[in-house]
């Protein structure tokens, strides 16, 4: 079960529907596995606005992967400078001396590399890292959903439906 998937799961017990403690589900006895997947930066950029960042941070910390999670969701970064740079490139306005332009383009390149490094870390965390065995536990009711061979069993016993 990929970590991206767990970011969208909540406890299915009826009594937990209104409780904020039922999300995120917490891993117990988790066995991690890594499956290499081709890096797709566009997918990561498009999925990040849908990811609950606080839940991802909690999950990564519980699994010992907190080093892979930036403090802030990259989808929330202020892109004002990037948009201004894009407008300048489109309009072809050249009000800066050559040295400043070279410094600015070096900064842009450094930012792109940093952004790509962050996206690669998130790709590894969200898509390549999974749990093959273990349990997901509700923080509200304590119900344990087993995970076997990477597949979670979310069927509830009749008395909890």
State yes or no: pLDDT of 106 exceeds 80. Answer: no
For range 142-155, the mean pLDDT:
97
Structure confidence at residue 29 (pLDDT): 97
Q: Which residue has the higher pLDDT, 74 or 108?
A: 74
CA angle 5, 39, 76 (to 5 degrees): 65
pLDDT band at 160 (very low <50, low <70, confident <90, very high): confident
Q: Write the CATH number for 40.
A: 2.20.25.10
The whole domain housing 58 covers 3-155
pLDDT, tens digit, for every residue of 5-37?
Answer: 999 999 999 999 999 999 999 999 999 999 999
Distance CA 47, CA 4 (A): 9
Q: Say if 113 falls within a structural domain.
A: yes
Nearest to 79 by CA among 55, 49, 121, 123: 49
In a 3-state reduction of DSSP, which class is residue 92? Answer: coil
Distance CA 124, CA 33 (A): 11
| Half-sphere exposure at residue 31, Cβ-oriented, CA atoms within 13 angstroms | 9
Q: Say if 73 falls within a structural domain.
A: yes
Distance CA 88, CA 100 (A): 14
pLDDT, tens digit, for every residue of 91-102?
Answer: 455 544 555 455
Q: Say if 84 falls within a structural domain.
A: yes
Q: Say if 161 falls within a structural domain.
A: no
Q: Say if 160 falls within a structural domain.
A: no
Tally of domains within the chain = 1
Nearest to 2 by CA among 159, 141, 156, 123: 123
Distance CA 50, CA 70 (A): 16
pLDDT, tens digit, for every residue of 37-89?
Answer: 999 999 999 999 999 999 999 999 999 999 999 988 888 864 534 333 444 44
């Amino acid at each position: 079960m990929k970590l991206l998937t767990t970011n969208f799961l909540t406890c299915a017990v009826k009594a937990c529907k209104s409780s904020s403690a039922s999300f995120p589900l917490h891993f117990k006895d988790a066995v991690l596995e890594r499956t290499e997947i081709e890096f797709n930066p566009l997918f990561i950029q498009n999925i990040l606005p849908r990811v609950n960042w606080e839940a991802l941070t909690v999950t990564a910390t519980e699994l010992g992967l907190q080093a892979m999670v930036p403090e802030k969701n990259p989808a929330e970064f202020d892109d004002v400078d990037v948009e201004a740079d894009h407008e300048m490139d489109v309009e072809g306005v050249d009000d800066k001396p050559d040295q400043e332009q070279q410094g600015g383009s070096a900064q842009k390149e450094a930012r792109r590399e940093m952004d790509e490094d962050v996206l690669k870390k998130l790709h590894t965390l969200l898509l390549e890292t999974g749990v093959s065995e273990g349990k997901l536990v509700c923080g509200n009711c304590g119900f344990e959903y087993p995970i076997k061979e990477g597949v979670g069993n979310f069927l509830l016993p009749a008395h909890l439906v």
